Amino acid sequence: MAEYRLEMHGVSKSFPGVKALDQVNLCVRPGTVHALMGENGAGKSTLMKCLFGIYKMDEGEVLVDGEKMHIANPDEALHHGLAMVHQELQPVPDRTIAENMYLGRYPLKSVGPLKIVDHKKMNEETVKWLENVKMPFDPKKKLGELSISQMQSVEIAKAVSQDAKLIILDEPTSSLTDNEVEALFKIVRDLRSRGVSFIYISHKMAEIRQIADDITIMRDGTYVGSWNMEEISDGEIVKQMVGRELTNVYPPLDNTLGDVLMEVKGYTSINDRSFKDCSFTLRRGEILGFGGLVGAQRTELMEAIFGIRHIKAGEINLNGKPITVKCPHDAIKNGIGMITEDRRGTGILGCLSIADNVSIASLDQYLEAGVKLNKKKIEDLVQDNVGKLSIKTPNSKELIQNLSGGNQQKVIISRWLANNPDVLIMDEPTRGIDVGAKYEIYQIMIELAKQGKGIIMISSEMPELLGVSNRIMVMCNGKITGELEREEATQENVMKYATQF
Amino acid sequence: MKNKINVKDTLINNGIILLLAVLVVYVSIAVPAFRSIANLKNLAINAAPRVIVALGVSGCLITKGTDLSAGRMVGLAGCLAGIMLQKADTPGKIWPNFPQLNVFVVLLICIAICAVFGLINGIVVAYLNVPAFIGTLGMQMIVYGIALVITNAVPIGGYRADFTTVTQGNIAGVPYLFLYLVLAAAIIWFVYNYTRHGKYMYAIGGNESAAEVSGVNVKKTKIIIYVTAACLYAIAGFLFSGKSGGASVNLGMSYELEAIAACTIGGVSVNGGIGRVSGVIIGVAVFELLKSSLQFLGVNTNYQFIAQGIVIIVAIALDIRKYIAKK
């Protein structure tokens, strides 16, 4: 038997403008759980996509059980015994467990000239495989009636039924309760003892400690190293994950802080697996950063404050007065604006002009006689912003979908400048934007803070978070786990709180 | 090089209109009666109420909805107007004891009644999140049922002179109907281009989630759209009924489909967010010209339906093509 179940050597992958993976290695021993850790954007998912042939790697080789392989697509990967349980499960909830297990490979039987699905065989086989992972379910039950963790177990059973020797679990516990995590670990341990290997992608330190045998750490698309779990301490793992030089340049943070502008108390989502009991304050003229890893529920918390999501408990005081926010309209009326993370999905009005995109949140200001919009006033506003934010566009009638990502983002920022809220929440404000435009956006944020507004910035880029925040709140698993003043905010400190659970 | 591609795209995107233009030119030459003043007037009279229906439907389409109850609402309003405006001495008068109201009061009553159904459409679509396709399909059947109950499927005729004057009259050779069309189009054009409601409508069609995040009251805007649409159907129904001097429950049948097709031909995108009043008018005109051209060419009415159906499918396929090309 080969020493390693899976070996990946010198894997590199470039996308236009970025080197996503640079000479990454990963070696997984048979019958072990191998943790793969790294910050957001470290390249874990890209590496897995290269392994499964979803992306074509530029360089590097893959060996399965010591044999060199070329894997072109997930189907081929499965033939070689590699299976992936996705972070977002993609089952068909309205069909039965058995049908999901055998999706795309239904056993057939002949009835005269016809080939029909052999339900009896499919159900019997399913029971067998479910027992394999200690899940005594009725195979005829609809998959959608199971809990997420049970669906995950079904996915694992499916992988095992397809003779998988290596199963990749991508953030498997992000939406599970403690008991469910324990149940999942039991299955993983059991399969491990029978020789199945796992690659376990997670941000949660405690879990990694509990389940993993080995660990590989990645940072910014590069390979940092691999260790046996016993050889490395938690502190060392954090250090290796973030150990980069902070070289990026940020504009000077010369805003001054005023008194308390907004107070959020005990915000708790109606979804039990989302944010719980989150409290924080925001001062006038402050840029408050929210750090954390994917799945920390930062976006969910902010979207709830803005009224996109619902809460079962919590209150907000704005300017010393309690406010009720049930929908974005309420939030805006009270002086809260939000630039959402998903620019395409909830930001731009693609088939409308720049002028329409800028003015949509502040049309009330341009009404004449309460009815007619003053187009000249709107045009002035748009021109003002196009100049101030140096938006590159031929004219204000250009459709926003024809602009670059950075310019689109500036248009969305203009939308809120025109609306002039007291509090502006910016969720990943520089995602997918080139370096020059990023710098300009930071300048705008600081300028707004100087005008006495409160800015909340969610950022998953550590240097940005440290570079432009006056103060940082760190979240993990739906809870606020740390608050760091600018002086004490280091990569290690943020990461320590971000992997608290 | 770039210009060349644009020319080709423009040709394909406006293919229907161009083909019909060719057809119209051909028919004008082949059958001179087609280009007579009388026929043009006839075209305008036929198109006018249809434009009003299409304007109503356009708002629903721009917000990625639709309104399948349009035609039946036209029918209901037409029947109601007819019943209320029957001459006092008409034999078999449906509501013999109904007072002789002013013709405009009757119009307002029709509008008010249809507005209620439009409100229900709006609530069903905006608050209950029922797909507009299904919600308004249900309303289509309900409204038809109500029209049947009211009329007992008896055709209505014997209109008062003031009703026929208002709907069939001319001023300096220009039919009143044409003036109503101009007035309705001007108002809707103003609403679409110069009011907050219009901007919100386009924003919802462009990206409903983004509109909501920008503070647009999506539910209220949608309700206003469906109510406005219903009011327009009521006006159209009133006009159809008066114009033809009689009504039956079959009035307005499948007008919503013609209206949707006309909007699409006129550039109202079924993917939402795009559509202009001028386009809607062009769309209806194209459709009426097609019908008239085929008539003048002596094409059997049965074949006309086939031709119209083909035009609808091709128009929507071309519209979708534009959308995909942009991605």
B32-44 confidence digits (pLDDT tens): 888 898 898 999 9
**Structure-derived torsion over alpha carbons of residues A477, A481, A487, A492, reported in degrees to the nearest 10:** -50
DSSP secondary structure, B231-247, as one string: HHHHHHHHHHHHHHT-B
Residue of B nearest to A376 (CA): B194
What is the identity of the amino acid at A205? M
Pairwise CA distance, residues A210 & A229, whole Å: 10
DSSP A66: T
- A188 in a domain, yes or no? yes
A415 and A460 together in one domain: no
- Considering only CB atoms, A350 lies closest to which of B196, B199, B206, namely B206
Task: Of A243, A261, A446, give the one whose Cα is nearest residue A335.
Answer: A261
Q: How confident is the model at residue A89 (pLDDT cuts 50, 70, 90)?
A: low
Q: How confident is the model at residue A105 (pLDDT cuts 50, 70, 90)?
A: confident
In the predicted structure, residue A477 carries a pLDDT above the cut 80: yes
Distances (CA, A) of A473 to A41, A302, A482, B85, B322: 20, 13, 6, 72, 46
Distances (CA, A) of A122 to A96, A97, A116, B192: 11, 10, 12, 58
**Structure-derived torsion over alpha carbons of residues B124, B129, B132, B138, reported in degrees to the nearest 10:** -50
Is ipTM > 0.85 here?
A: no
- The shortest C-alpha distance from A314 to chain B (Å) reads 21
A84 and A231 together in one domain: yes
- A1 in a domain, yes or no? no
Contact (CB<8Å) A363/B269: no
Residue of B nearest to A308 (CA): B213
Task: Of A362, A442, A438, A359, give the one whose Cα is nearest residue A405.
Answer: A438
pLDDT of residue B186: 97
- Considering only CB atoms, A340 lies closest to which of B199, B205, B213, namely B213
Q: Give the H/E segment covering residue A57.
A: none
A293 and A325 together in one domain: yes
B268-298 confidence digits (pLDDT tens): 988 889 999 999 999 999 889 988 999 898 8
pLDDT of residue B325: 55
Contact (CB<8Å) B273/A349: yes
Taking each helix axis from N to C end, the angle separating B2-13 and B15-30, rounded to the nearest 10 degrees, works out to: 60
Residue of A nearest to B273 (CA): A351
Domain of B29, in residue numbers = 2-326
| Domain count within chain A | 3
A217 and A319 together in one domain: no
Mean pLDDT in residue range B145-161: 94
- A343 in a domain, yes or no? no
Between B146 and A77, the more confident residue is B146
**Structure-derived torsion over alpha carbons of residues A199, A203, A206, A210, reported in degrees to the nearest 10:** 0
Task: Of B17, B2, B156, B25, give the one whose Cα is nearest residue B92.
Answer: B156
pLDDT of residue A245: 64
Q: How confident is the model at residue B3 (pLDDT cuts 50, 70, 90)?
A: very low
A81 and A151 together in one domain: yes
- Considering only CB atoms, B207 lies closest to which of A306, A348, A375, namely A348
A43 and A134 together in one domain: yes
Q: Token digits for A202?
A: 């997670």
Range of A116-120, A341-345, B104-108, B252-256 with top mean pLDDT: B104-108
Mean pLDDT in residue range B203-232: 95
Residue where one domain finishes, among candidates A242, A267, A299: A242
Q: Is B207 on the interface with A (CB under 8 A)?
A: yes
Residue where one domain finishes, among candidates A374, A398, A419: A419
DSSP secondary structure, A300-358, as one string: HHHHHHTTSS-EEEEEEEETTEEE--SSHHHHHHTTEEEE-S-IIIII--TTSBHHHHH
pLDDT of residue A214: 95
Pairwise CA distance, residues B281 & A306, whole Å: 41
Residue of A nearest to B322 (CA): A351
Mean pLDDT in residue range A488-497: 90
In the predicted structure, residue A138 carries a pLDDT above the cut 60: yes
What is the identity of the amino acid at A160? V
Residues of chain B positioned with their CB less than 8 A from the CB of A367: 196
Residue of A nearest to B271 (CA): A351
Using the structure block, give the residue that is written with the tokens 């434009």. B51
A200-233 confidence digits (pLDDT tens): 998 888 889 999 999 999 988 899 999 999 999 8
- A72 in a domain, yes or no? yes
- The shortest C-alpha distance from A138 to chain B (Å) reads 34
pLDDT of residue A248: 62
pLDDT of residue A225: 93
Mean pLDDT in residue range A239-244: 80
The domain that holds B49 is classified in CATH as: 1.10.3470
A355 and A390 together in one domain: yes
pLDDT of residue A153: 84
- A341 in a domain, yes or no? no
Cα dihedral A221, A222, A224, A225 sign: positive
Q: Is B269 on the interface with A (CB under 8 A)?
A: yes
Residue where one domain finishes, among candidates A242, A272, A287: A242
DSSP secondary structure, B181-224, as one string: HHHHHHHHHHHHHHBHHHHHHHHHHH-HHHHHHTT--HHHHHHH
A128 and A233 together in one domain: yes
| Domain count within chain B | 1
- Considering only CB atoms, B213 lies closest to which of A308, A333, A401, namely A308
Q: How confident is the model at residue A301 (pLDDT cuts 50, 70, 90)?
A: very high
Residue of B nearest to A402 (CA): B326
- The shortest C-alpha distance from A332 to chain B (Å) reads 6
Q: Token digits for A243?
A: 């150990």
Between B48 and A39, the more confident residue is B48
In the predicted structure, residue B327 carries a pLDDT above the cut 50: no
The domain that holds A437 is classified in CATH as: 3.40.50.300
A286 and A264 together in one domain: yes
Per the prediction, chain A carries an average pLDDT of 89
Q: Token digits for B296?
A: 């003048």
pLDDT of residue B5: 59
Contact (CB<8Å) A349/B196: no
Which of A85-94, A338-347, A391-400 shows the lowest per-residue confidence on average (mean pLDDT)?
Answer: A85-94
Q: Token digits for B327?
A: 């991605």
Backbone angles phi, psi at A266, to 5 degrees: 60, 35
- Which residues of A lie inside 8 Å of B (Cβ-Cβ)? 306, 308, 327-329, 332-333, 338, 340, 345-352, 356, 359-361, 363-364, 367, 371-373, 375, 401, 415, 419
In the predicted structure, residue A288 carries a pLDDT above the cut 90: yes
A228 and A278 together in one domain: no
Q: How confident is the model at residue B2 (pLDDT cuts 50, 70, 90)?
A: very low
Q: Which of B214, B217, B323 to mutate to test the interface with A (most CBs of A within 10 A)?
A: B214
Contact present, A353 and A346 (Cβ < 8 Å) = no
- A340 in a domain, yes or no? no
- A106 in a domain, yes or no? yes
In the predicted structure, residue B4 carries a pLDDT above the cut 60: no
Contact (CB<8Å) A348/B269: no
A388 and A447 together in one domain: no
Q: How confident is the model at residue A143 (pLDDT cuts 50, 70, 90)?
A: confident
The dihedral region occupied by B147, where left means phi > 0, alpha psi between -120 and 50, and beta the remainder, is: alpha
- Considering only CB atoms, B206 lies closest to which of A340, A349, A373, namely A349
Task: Of B85, B93, B131, give the one whose Cα is nearest residue B243.
Answer: B85
Mean pLDDT in residue range A365-383: 89
Task: Of A203, A197, A231, A157, give the one whose Cα is nearest residue A64.
Answer: A197
Domain of A299, in residue numbers = 245-335+421-501
- Chain CA centroid to CA A187, Å: 26
Contact present, B74 and B53 (Cβ < 8 Å) = yes
Q: Token digits for A115?
A: 């080939």
Mean pLDDT in residue range A34-46: 86
Q: Is B211 on the interface with A (CB under 8 A)?
A: yes
A409 and A281 together in one domain: no
Q: Token digits for B235?
A: 């006006």
Mean pLDDT in residue range A478-482: 92
Task: Determine whether A391 is exposed, middle or buried from the number of CB atoms within 10 Å of its CB (0-12, 13-18, 19+).
Answer: buried
Contact (CB<8Å) B210/A401: no
Q: Token digits for A320?
A: 């010393």
Contact (CB<8Å) B212/A327: yes
Task: Of A273, A413, A290, give the one whose Cα is nearest residue A340.
Answer: A413
In the predicted structure, residue B159 carries a pLDDT above the cut 90: yes
In the predicted structure, residue A473 carries a pLDDT above the cut 80: yes
